[in-house]
């Protein structure tokens, strides 16, 4: 069965510094996708970045990058140059290619300090 583990319930980071949010996953499938979503206090789910299991290079989207280590089954999100607006809940999620369901981790609350 698919499972996502986010071991950091909460994180603090100083403005302008980089931060890594951890995510490990479990699946027996070879073909899957990994996603990160941001949920600000207003509640909406904002898609940040995607990594396919067969992608050889780590995904990057602006200040977001995904540190994908397939053998370790980890997909950590790196946010560079943190901004106050990055304060939010962050969810890691996975979908096996032939499934519709996104399986989510419990989330990590990130607080950026000025």
Partner 1 sequence: EAQVTQNPRYLITVTGKKLTVTCSQNMNHEYMSWYRQDPGLGLRQIYYSMNVEVTDKGDVPEGYKVSRKEKRNFPLILESPSPNQTSLYFCASRTGYLGTDTQYFGPGTRLTVL
Residues engaged in binding partner 1 (CB under 8 A): 4, 31, 33, 35, 37, 43-45, 47, 50, 52, 91, 93, 95-98, 100-102, 104-107
Which of residues 45 and 84 has its CB atom nearest to partner 1 in the complex? 45
How far apart (Å, rounded) are the C-alpha atoms in residues 94 and 13?
Answer: 26
Give least dist CB 69 to partner 1, A: 19
Structure token pair of residue 71: 């053998």
Element (DSSP H or E) covering residue 109: strand 108-113
Which of residues 12 and 54 has its CB atom nearest to partner 1 in the complex? 54
**Which residues on adjacent β-strands are paired with residue 96?**
32
Q: Which of 38, 37, 71 is nearest to 53 (CA)?
A: 71
Which of residues 64 and 104 has its CB atom nearest to partner 1 in the complex? 104
In degrees rounded to 5, what are phi and psi of residue 109? -85, 125
Which of residues 1 and 114 has its CB atom nearest to partner 1 in the complex? 1
Give least dist CB 88 to partner 1, A: 14
């Amino acid at each position: 069965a698919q499972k996502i583990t986010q071991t950091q319930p909460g994180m603090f980071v100083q403005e302008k510094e980089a931060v890594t949010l951890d995510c490990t996953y479990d699946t027996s499938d070879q073909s899957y996708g990994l996603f990160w979503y941001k949920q600000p206090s207003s509640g909406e789910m904002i898609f940040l970045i995607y990594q396919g299991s067969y992608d050889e290079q780590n995904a990057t989207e602006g200040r977001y990058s995904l540190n994908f280590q397939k053998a370790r089954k980890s997909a950590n999100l790196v946010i560079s140059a943190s901004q106050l607006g990055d304060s939010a809940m962050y969810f890691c999620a996975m979908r096996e290619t032939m499934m519709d369901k996104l399986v989510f981790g419990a989330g990590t609350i990130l607080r950026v300090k000025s």
